[in-house]
Amino acid sequence: MYAYVYKNILYPFYETVLRRRRTFHYLNQFEKDQWLSEEELKEIQWKKLKPLLEHAYQHVPYYREQFENCGFHPEQMQDLSDISKIPILTKKNIQDNQQSLLADNYKDKPLLENWTGGSTGEPTRFKFDHRTYEMRMAYSARCDRWSGWDYGIKEFYIWGVRDTGDAPTVTAKKTLHNLLLRRKVVNCYTFSRDTFPRYVKEFNRFKPDMIISYTSPLYNLARYIHENKLDIYTPKSIIATAEQLYPFQRELIEEVFQAPVFNRYGSREVMNIAMECDKHEGLHLNIDNLLVEIIKDNQPVEPGELGEIVITDLNNYVMPFIRCKLGDLAVPSIKKCSCRRGLPLLQEVAGRTFDTLTLRDGRCITGLLFTFYMQKFTGVSQFQVIQKDLDTFIVNIVKNSRYKDSDTEDIGAELRQQLGANAKIDLHFVDNIPMQKSGKQRIVISEVPLDFGNE
């Protein structure tokens, strides 16, 4: 009953009337568009791409210079493939050109800001407007609905929550917000053999319709439940995100929770990029809002081949991301999904792997959290953490010109605060972080086996 009232009355009233957002308007449109053919969706892409590039040329100093340097003129574009003439935008380019990437005709408008630690540890700030935000919320909601999610259902979130030292009023507001959204958030920062029993109890008491979780903490929780033969409430479905989902992880999570797992791939920069529908034949790409290229040597790879993911956000005119390299890898699929949606499929997303670290105090934390820890060190372009034993960590760092001498001590202090006062942090400066033979990037590696033991 609450779900019905929330979905049909409360939330639309809040979004549309109170906040004056057009999220529902966009969602209705995108829900219809997903059933268009791939060719028709590409037509939508084209209609959005050309004005975006013209705008970038006229109003964004960074792109004007780039386009002029490489002899690219938006008005001369013949088709989508011409975009390959534009140079790739790296996270470093974004860091170094914060002002010149802003459109001169948007500077005085109300803007939103977000930032990301990124999978390679390069912190990046970016701006967008309310319209772009509403569209992102809408196409993300469209994808989540494929899993059975909807406004008003009970969500159990397993997420990395940073202690931001909020004032009590802010904490109270967040708690009320979660209560109204019927959302329970548990912090995978605090996962350990000691806290798992409490989370299992909370889960069973809360009886969620859905789990939305980082992949490896969810897998660890599933392992704990499985190895200790605990009873667990069955949700309707599960969204696993933020890390690569391996088949063995999916298998165990589905077995333990008796619910289907939906793989979701997204990024802070543009939110939901691709997600599985209930056919699980690959991840549908949101091509009506994003131009997603999978490339190798600046050329699109063949279906079945691994390439780098490069994104153009077709909606954001404030700080356009044109051919932005996210640092992840994917394999495009040749298959058409049997659900008949025209959104094309990725066969697999690869590239980001973060082992779970077992710490001396019993915590087992996902290595993904290091992207938060390292975020404030702008002199670090890339990093890799290798755990040798319970107390010893090797941190490989690729530094840039903003690296300060004091950073070495500060990084050590930050990591000791997170990993334990006795942690031995061994910092090494390297020229690059090598990829694995598979093309995958292992950001956090642990040589300490995970052991959940029996209660």
The residue range among 113-121, 217-225, 314-322, 333-341 that interacts with Zn ion, by the rule CB under 5 A, is: 333-341
Structure tokens at 61: 């100093």
Q: Among residues 274 and 337, whose Cβ is nearest to Zn ion?
A: 337
- Residue 278 or residue 409: which is nearer to Zn ion going by CB? 278
Q: How many residues bind Zn ion (CB under 5 A)?
A: 4
**Is 102 or 277 the residue whose CB approaches Zn ion more closely?**
277
Main-chain dihedrals φ then ψ at residue 249, nearest 5 degrees: -70, -45
- Residue with smaller CB distance to Zn ion, 25 or 279: 279
Q: Which stretch binds Zn ion (CB under 5 A): 114-122, 335-343, 351-359, 384-392?
A: 335-343
DSSP sequence for 163-175: -----HHHHHHHH
* Dihedral-angle region of residue 439 (phi above 0 means left; psi in -120 to 50 means alpha; beta otherwise): left
Q: Which range, of 111-119, 132-140, 229-237, 330-338, touches Zn ion by CB under 5 A?
A: 330-338
Q: What is the DSSP string of 369-419?
A: GHHHHTTT-TTEEEEEEEE-SSSEEEEEEEE-TT--HHHHHHHHHHHHHHH
Q: Does 339 bind Zn ion (CB under 5 A)?
A: yes
Q: Which is nearer to Zn ion, 101 or 277 (CB)?
A: 277
Looking at the Cβ atoms of 262 and 370, the one nearer to Zn ion is 262
Instruction: Map tokens 């400066």 to a residue.
Output: 429
Does residue number 212 form part of the binding site for Zn ion (CB under 5 A)? no
For residue 294, the minimal CB distance to Zn ion (Å) is 18
- Beta carbon nearer to Zn ion, 39 or 75: 39
Residue burial 231-264, b: 16+ Cβ < 10 Å; e: rest = eeeebebbbbbbbbbeeebbebbeebbebbbbbb
Contact 157, 184 (CB under 8 A): yes
To the nearest whole angstrom, how small is the minimum distance from the Cβ of residue 5 to Zn ion? 30
- Residue pair 365/191 in contact (Cβ under 8 Å)? The answer is yes
To Zn ion, the closest distance from the beta carbon of 283 in angstroms equals: 9
For the bound state, the minimum distance from the C-beta of residue 251 to Zn ion, rounded and expressed in Å, comes to 21
Tell the smallest beta-carbon distance from residue 40 to Zn ion (Å).
16
Interface with Zn ion in residues 255-284 (CB under 5 A) = 277, 279
Smallest separation, CB 146 to Zn ion (Å)? 7
Tokens of 358: 């077992």
Least separation in angstroms between residue 54's CB and Zn ion is 34
Q: Which positions from 361 through 420 interact with Zn ion, judged by CB under 5 A?
A: none
Q: Using CB atoms within 10 Å of the CB of residue 455, give its burial: 0 to 12 exposed, 13 to 18 middle, 19+ buried.
A: exposed
In the complex with Zn ion, the residue whose CB is nearer, 152 or 344, is: 344
Pairing mode of beta strands 210-214, 155-159 = parallel
Q: C-beta of 343: minimal distance to Zn ion in Å?
A: 8
Question: Among residues 283, 319, 337, 385, which is the contact residue for Zn ion, using CB under 5 A?
Answer: 337
Residues 6+ apart with CB under 8 A from 140: 266, 271, 272
Q: Find the part of the chain contacting Zn ion (CB under 5 A) among 105-113, 194-202, 336-344, 442-450.
A: 336-344
Taking alpha carbons only, the member of 286, 306, 307 closest to residue 298 is 307
What minimum distance in Å lies between the beta carbon of 278 and Zn ion? 7
The nearest distance, CB 281 to Zn ion, in angstroms, is 6
* Residue 64 vs 279, nearer CB to Zn ion: 279
Neighbouring C-alpha atoms within 13 Å toward the C-beta of 371 = 25
Closer residue to Zn ion in complex, CB, 240/274: 274
Note whether 444 binds Zn ion by CB under 5 A.
Answer: no
Nearest one of 448, 435, 420 to 382, comparing CA atoms: 435
Please answer whether residues 146 and 278 qualify as being in contact, where contact means their C-beta atoms are separated by less than 8 angstroms: yes
* Contact residues: Zn ion, CB under 5 A: 277, 279, 337, 339
